[in-house]
Amino acid sequence: MMKSVITGTGTYIPEVFCPNEHFVDHVFYDSRGLPIPGTSASIIEKFRKITGIRERRYAPPGSNTSDIAAFAGMHALKDAGIDPETLDQIIVAHNFGDVDDQSLQSQIVPSLASKVKHRLGIHNPGCIAYDIIFGCPGWIQALIQSEAYFKAGMAKKVLLIGAETLSRIVDPGDRDSMIFADGAGACVLECLETGKEGSGILGTCSQTYSLEEVNYINMGKSYGPCDSGRLFMKMKGRKVYEYALVHVPAAIRHCIEGCGIQIGQVKKIFIHQANEKMDEEIIKRLFESYGLSAPPYIMPMNIQWLGNSSVATVPTLYHMVRKGDIAGHEISGGDIIVFASVGAGMNINAVCYRV
């Protein structure tokens, strides 16, 4: 049986370390432009208790999203042990393109995937490079899309990358700016004969809710006294939280049940590192829908020290667990795992996968 198999992973974790203390001199404003009551220190501590974030990483000056994407991709190719010239596709999931630290203008022409192919020095014109913009679930959507290409016989080997430099599009006067971080994660996905019980994607689910929800995450003006006209990423935190708690557990359940998997067979759930409290509640509600309590160590996390790097969180997390870099978490051949995410659009997706 032919299946879509992850044969290599890689990541780029930026070297610029930014602890919560970095924001202690900031003045934070609400959506009305009014200063948020309390000291910056008290606001930051409340933020830590809700999100779990103590620190995050930022890309260094002179390094762009396509640069860190290429770095993660190179390591995934090396890990998979394949010749880059044999790739059929390179897909880069992102949301803001290259945002140069000097001009702060988004650049998406040429595509980041084309830039990655250039940086990797791939000559083969049959290696098609393109981007996908699907909010934070972009990397998982690239998995789903590649699975469809495999089934259609249009590709056999792809490089999938999620990369973002969110530090360059956040409003310093918005406390939500402390959530976001930079990073890149990647995998090589191959169409291989593995047998009925072999490794590979078992099932997928993808949804978009965009009537009432379309602007839950969008671009808007600074909350602070800034009249530059520049737009920053904005999030209706409460709306996103409530939306995610209803729809993400349902999407995960729909995914695993669609491929005949029982919840007790799932070893790990790799969920988008959006907010510690929200992610924990999503898993709690998922298991409650089965009349169960969530087992310990079902959900690895790295948001505490890496923050929310959007499309990069899931592939980075998977790579770290795969390589034994997160204490208390490991996966072995035959384990059934789930990838799941939620983000702007509003989009949700999930993939059930046998390691």
Structure tokens at 320: 């770290």
* Residue 240, beta-bridge partner list: none
Structure tokens at 204: 């997928």
pLDDT score, position 224: 84
pTM above 0.75, yes or no: yes
* From-to residues of CATH 3.40.47.10 in the chain: 2-193, 200-354
Question: Does 110 sit behind a cis peptide bond, omega within 30 degrees of 0 on the bond before it?
Answer: yes
The residues with which 190 forms a beta bridge, in sequence order, are: 5, 157
Please give the Cα distance from 174 to 177 (Å, whole number): 6
Helix residue spans in the chain (DSSP H): 40-51, 65-80, 112-120, 138-151, 237-258, 276-288, 303-306, 313-322
pLDDT on residue 196: 72
Structure confidence by residue, pLDDT tens digits, 259-293: 999 999 999 999 999 999 999 999 999 999 999 99
Greatest C-alpha distance within the chain: 61
Query: Beta strands 232-235 and 217-220: pairing type?
Result: antiparallel
Q: Quick check: 314 pLDDT over 70?
A: yes
Superfamily of domain 2-193: Thiolase/Chalcone synthase (3.40.47.10)
Model pLDDT, residue 292: 96
pLDDT in tens, 142-180: 999 999 999 999 999 999 999 999 999 999 889 999 999
The identity of residue 231, as a single letter, is L
Which CATH superfamily hosts domain 200-354?
Answer: Thiolase/Chalcone synthase (3.40.47.10)
Q: Is 30 left (phi over 0), alpha (psi -120 to 50) or beta?
A: beta
- pLDDT score of 296 more than 80: yes
> DSSP 3-state assignment of 236?
coil
Q: Copy the structure tokens of residue 144.
A: 């789903």
pLDDT given at position 227:
64
Cβ contact 28:218 at 8 Å: no
Average confidence score pLDDT of the chain: 94
pLDDT one-digit tens code per residue, 183-240 = 999 999 999 998 777 899 999 999 999 999 999 999 998 888 876 778 899 999 899 9
Question: Exposed (0-12), middle (13-18) or buried (19+): which is 34, by Cβ within 10 Å?
Answer: exposed
Q: Where are the beta strands (DSSP E) in the chain?
A: 2-12, 16-19, 55-58, 89-93, 98-99, 106-107, 128-132, 157-165, 182-193, 200-208, 217-220, 232-235, 266-271, 336-343, 347-354
